[in-house]
Amino acid sequence: MIAAVKHGSKSYRIDFSKPIDISLPLIGGEKNVNAWYLKPPVIEPHSEKGFVGQVSQGGAVNFNDIQFNPHSHVTHTECLGHITEGFYSINKQLRSFFFWAELITVAPEESNGDFIISEKQLNYALGNHRPEALVIRTLPNVQSKKSMDYSNTNPPYLLETAMDFLVEHGIEHLLVDLPSVDRERDEGRLAGHKAFWGLEKDPRMNATITELIFVPNSIADGTYILNLQVAPFENDAAPSRPVLYKIEDP
């Protein structure tokens, strides 16, 4: 389906029959992506009192139990409830699902033994663009990201000043191919999360962070329409399926 979309004074064409899925699925087992020192997710047939939820084992239906943590095992979108004492649900905080988005590619810089994304890098990559959502693909962008166990690897992260920069430029929704926007071990400071959600100033109730995406190298940097599909979990975070659509001139 091709639709006309107006942005400012210009109109554009969007072909909704050509989605670009940038999510990682939940697979179960060692081949699944993982972080935060958890065991791999489990997907297995439910069984009890003579019932088995697998047709190949004689059951009438396939009926699986699934055990996972959205922060560790799958592309997920989180709201400020991730770091607040009070409860906030992503299912309540995110009420719109289509956004103008900019995809950028960044090579994290080495700094004191870490690999970081700085304000300077984001400023250079964004230029004059002021999107609602920002999608960050980091280099090297290798296929192993899809099954990486990030635990105890000190992955790249965004500096607090970089997060301040995004807030100042009106970014409401941040998507990264990392397990977190913050350092793996930071003594619980979570400076990047706090800066993005403005917890110590003016809380941004509708802002979201999506982690553990994967953007193929074949997808060019540029402006897209983002459809941020989030499973309706009453939780601070939920599995999500961010989908990009190319924008074409009329």
Average pLDDT over residues 55-68: 97
Q: What's the pLDDT band for 153 if we cut at 50, 70, 90?
A: very high
Mean pLDDT, rounded, of the chain? 95
Long-range contacts, stretch 247-250, CB < 8 angstroms, 24+ apart: 247/5, 247/12, 247/13, 247/14, 247/223, 248/12, 248/13, 248/14, 248/15, 249/12, 249/13, 250/4, 250/11, 250/12, 250/13
Mean pLDDT, residues 36-49: 97
Mean pLDDT of 163-176: 98
pLDDT band at 250 (very low <50, low <70, confident <90, very high): low
pLDDT of 87-99, one tens digit each?
999 999 999 999 9
pTM attached to this predicted model: 0.96
Both tokens assigned to 38: 């958890």
Residue 8 pLDDT:
66
Average pLDDT score over residue span 73-80: 98
Kindly list the structural domains of the chain, giving each domain's residue range(s) and its CATH number in brackets, ordered by start.
18-24+70-248 (3.50.30.50)
Instruction: Please give the pLDDT value at position 11.
Output: 79
- β-partners of residue 2 are 15
Q: Identify whether the C-beta of residue 37 lies closer than 8 Å to the C-beta of residue 152.
A: yes
Whole-number Å distance between alpha carbons of 71 and 8: 36
